[in-house]
Amino acid sequence: MSELTTNSTAIPNERTQVRLSNKCHSILTQMKEDGYLAEMTDGYRLGIALALSMGAQLDELSAENRNFIAVSTLDPTGEIAAAIRMLVNLEGQSVYGYAERLADWGIKEMQTRFKGGFLDVASLMNTAAEMAT
């Protein structure tokens, strides 16, 4: 069976792989090598959450990108897609295409805050909470 029929999180015309810019792939690779992430997928999910929570103004994904992971692995229960649909007016955009842009923004934001050599996830969430109020 195809992934589209076996993966309950995918819908017709929705992508089955999410992409990541080459720059963000390098950032996640470094964070994993430095022991800040158990898996690069964790950083991708954190990037999505961070961008959503901060109301990020998203750019298009860089033309220099690569397939990163299957949607069925990233979002096996569909909770990420449901959260995006709840918080964002997609106006016909692919939910996982939008997730790619969220992840890209969030990963770059993590790198900006990581430059001091320490990634304080609590401060990221506090900043997001302050922006939400």
User: 97 is in which domain, residue-wise?
Assistant: 3-132
Residue 1: band (very low, low, confident or very high) from pLDDT cuts 50, 70, 90: very low
pLDDT tens-digit series, residues 91-133 = 989 999 999 999 999 999 988 887 766 666 666 666 656 665 6
Residue 5: band (very low, low, confident or very high) from pLDDT cuts 50, 70, 90: very low
Q: How far apart are the first and last CA of the chain?
A: 46
Q: What is the pTM of this model?
A: 0.81
Phi, psi dihedrals of residue 60, rounded to the nearest 5°: -70, 150
Cα–Cα nearest to 114, from 20, 18, 37? 37
Asked if 108 contacts 24 with a C-beta cutoff of 8 angstroms, the reply is: yes
Percent of the chain with pLDDT over 90: 59
Residue 118 pLDDT: 64
Burial class (CB in 10 A: 0-12, 13-18, 19+), 112: exposed
* Pair of tokens at residue 89: 């007016």
pLDDT tens-digit series, residues 18-31 = 999 999 999 999 98
Quote the strand ranges of the chain, DSSP E. Answer: 17-21, 65-70
Residue 80: band (very low, low, confident or very high) from pLDDT cuts 50, 70, 90: very high
Residue 7 pLDDT: 43
- The residues facing 19 across adjacent strands are 67
Number of domains comprising the chain: 1
